[in-house]
Amino acid sequence: MYRGYGSAMVQREAPASRSGDHDEIRRSALPLAAPEDLDPLLERIGDARYVLIGEASHGTHDFYAWRAALTRRLITEKDFRFVGVEGDWPDCHRIHRAVTGIGDESPGEAVYGFARWPSFMWANEEVADFCRWLRDWNDSLPTRARCGFHGLDVYSLWDSLRAVRGYALRHLPEQADAVLRALHCFEARGHDPQQYGLALRLLPESCEEAAVGLLTAVRRSAPDDEAGFAARQNAEVVAGAEEYYRAMLRGGAESWNVRDVHMADTLDRLTGFYGDGAKAVVWAHNTHVGDARATDMAAAGMTNLGQLVRERHGGNGGNGGGGGSDGDGGAVVLVGFGTHRGTVVAGDEWGAPAEVMPVPPARPASLESLLHEAEPEGALFVVPPPGDRPGWYDRPVGHRAIGVVYHPERDHLRNYVRTVPGRRYDAFLWLDRTSALRPLHGEPPGEAEPETFPTAL
């Protein structure tokens, strides 16, 4: 989950030729009022195998609703096989079981089960509505053809460790020693990831060796069925989370990179599990989806999921995507979102109760301000190839990013990422005024994960 950039990341963008840009933007804008207006984007997606759909905040109804609308069309019209999200594997596996009909819970119950902060990010009416639809869609298909729902993230150290223990005790008794060694190591350093990180300041030995031993044992022994794959993925999360929380102690961009590499690796494992040619939709924040090479994240030493998927799967897409591999030019499509003003759900600190906050008008000279002045309603932008597109696509400009922690009064100072829009995305959905999403429940006290944004930023 995205927290938000510190002011050190913000660089002043050069002023643009406003009137000329406004004219170019108006000519580039396509209508965006109903799901059928996504036709040009579906045409751009073509036979792409990976469509990564962003959001400019984790708490905006309109981003979730349009992302779900696009995903429905990808599933029903282009046979996309699973949705991978910026969420924890165990919680999302419960949703996967519900939407594919192999679990006992309904989709609404499974979505409601997200409990750790920020629960509003997934336990909301918008996600529940999509998951109910997905269950109805899947019920019409053979079991092996049903569309899955999976978490790509790395945070669920303890939930994943307990899941591996339960699976190993039932199905892999010969690997019980490796599982128990990892469990005892983490227990000795506290019962949550933050305590593990703090313990490493005092104890020279980490649990890295135990986590790698657990992963090796499960990889070697778990079968290739769905339950075995889930067990292997939980073991991958344990190893990845141990590396992540250890990297957090060192500060800088390393923990961010560990996390996004883990998400990219999980995506690759899932496409391998679903079979050759399987198509994947990804839901994550713009900061994970939009190619980092087209932002000032790159100067800070950061990579991200969009960049990695482009590099691994030929996602240059004809848009000059920051040096991605050539591939087939269309295997990966990155879709961003933006808004000028409205309301959003967020907390004022890590673990704070969620609340509806105002989103003030965007900073002058930002991408959002430019689009608002030129096209003050919703619009779809499908990025043309280099050499055949208006100049505004290739000019650096500040681009707003709102995370789960937000302070509207500081918006102009802290929440903008210097971006070249035409290189960062293949398409962009512009929604001038947006409203807060609808959480299913309040944040439970005492259940917050530690803050997870690189400390130097």
Whether 232 and 278 share a structural domain = no
Residue 1 placed within a domain: no
Residue 373 placed within a domain: yes
pLDDT band at 428 (very low <50, low <70, confident <90, very high): very high
pLDDT band at 419 (very low <50, low <70, confident <90, very high): very high
Whether 295 and 311 share a structural domain = yes
∠ at Cα 307 (152, 453), nearest 5°?
A: 60
Estimate to the nearest angstrom the gap between the alpha carbon of 100 and the chain centroid: 22
Task: Find, among 96, 57, 54, the residue nearest to 71 by Cα.
Answer: 54
The strand pair at 427-430 and 416-419 is best described as unpaired
Whether 238 and 158 share a structural domain = yes
Note the pLDDT of residue 324.
35
Estimate to the nearest angstrom the gap between the alpha carbon of 56 and the chain centroid: 11
Task: Find, among 271, 439, 244, the residue nearest to 356 by Cα.
Answer: 439
Task: Find, among 421, 202, 197, 431, the residue nearest to 290 by Cα.
Answer: 421
Asked if pLDDT for residue 198 goes beyond 90, the answer is no
Q: Which of 208-222, 389-403, 443-457 is predicted with the least confidence, judged by mean pLDDT? A: 443-457
Distance, CA of 294 to CA of 311 (rounded, Å): 13
Asked if pLDDT for residue 326 goes beyond 50, the answer is no
pLDDT band at 191 (very low <50, low <70, confident <90, very high): low
Distance, CA of 117 to CA of 247 (rounded, Å): 21
Distance, CA of 79 to CA of 279 (rounded, Å): 7
Estimate to the nearest angstrom the gap between the alpha carbon of 206 and the chain centroid: 28
pLDDT in tens, 342-392: 999 999 999 999 999 999 999 999 999 999 999 889 999 999 999 889 999
Distance, CA of 289 to CA of 86 (rounded, Å): 10
Residue 3 placed within a domain: no
pLDDT band at 276 (very low <50, low <70, confident <90, very high): confident
Asked if pLDDT for residue 157 goes beyond 70, the answer is yes
Residue 167 placed within a domain: yes
Whether 114 and 211 share a structural domain = no
> How high does pLDDT run on average in the chain?
89
| Structural domain harbouring 379 | 15-152+253-320+329-456
Residue 4 placed within a domain: no
Asked if pLDDT for residue 102 goes beyond 50, the answer is yes
User: 78: which 2 tokens?
Assistant: 């282009």
Of 250, 267, 284, which marks where a domain is finished? 250
Whether 158 and 293 share a structural domain = no
> Where in 394-450 does DSSP place strands (E)?
397-400, 416-419, 427-430, 433-434
* Three-state DSSP state, 88: coil
Note the pLDDT of residue 16.
45
Note the pLDDT of residue 450.
40
Whether 257 and 111 share a structural domain = yes
**Residue-wise over 56-73: b if at least 16 C-beta within 10 A, else e?**
bbbbbbbbbbbbbebbbb
Asked if pLDDT for residue 200 goes beyond 80, the answer is no
Estimate to the nearest angstrom the gap between the alpha carbon of 173 and the chain centroid: 35
Strand order in the sheet with 355-359: 355-359, 341-346, 433-434
Residue 350 placed within a domain: yes
Whether 384 and 433 share a structural domain = yes
DSSP state of 430: E
**Residue-wise over 105-135: b if at least 16 C-beta within 10 A, else e?**
eebbebbbbbebbbbbbbbbbbbbbbbbbbb
Cβ neighbours of 162 (radius 10 Å): 15
Whether 77 and 137 share a structural domain = yes
Of 232, 250, 268, which marks where a domain is finished? 250
Where is pLDDT greater, at 205 or 211?
Answer: 211
The strand pair at 355-359 and 397-400 is best described as unpaired
Distance, CA of 321 to CA of 332 (rounded, Å): 10
CATH number at residue 31: 3.40.1660.10
Task: Find, among 304, 297, 243, the residue nearest to 456 by Cα.
Answer: 297
Whether 423 and 364 share a structural domain = yes
Residue 380 placed within a domain: yes
Residue 9 placed within a domain: no
Whether 260 and 124 share a structural domain = yes
Classify burial at 238, counting beta carbons within 10 Å of its beta carbon; exposed 0-12, middle 13-18, buried 19 or more: buried
Q: Which of 185-189, 234-238, 374-378 is predicted with the least confidence, judged by mean pLDDT? A: 185-189
Strand order in the sheet with 82-85: 30-31, 379-382, 427-430, 332-338, 50-53, 280-283, 82-85, 148-151
Enclosing H/E stretch for 53? strand 50-53
Whether 148 and 267 share a structural domain = yes
Note the pLDDT of residue 203.
65
Number of structural domains the chain divides into: 2
Of 190, 218, 250, which marks where a domain is finished? 250
Which percentage of the chain shows pLDDT scores above 90?
A: 79
Whether 240 and 264 share a structural domain = no
Task: Find, among 233, 214, 237, the residue nearest to 224 by Cα.
Answer: 233
- CA distances in angstroms from 375 to 56, 67, 177, 268, listed in the order given: 18, 21, 62, 38
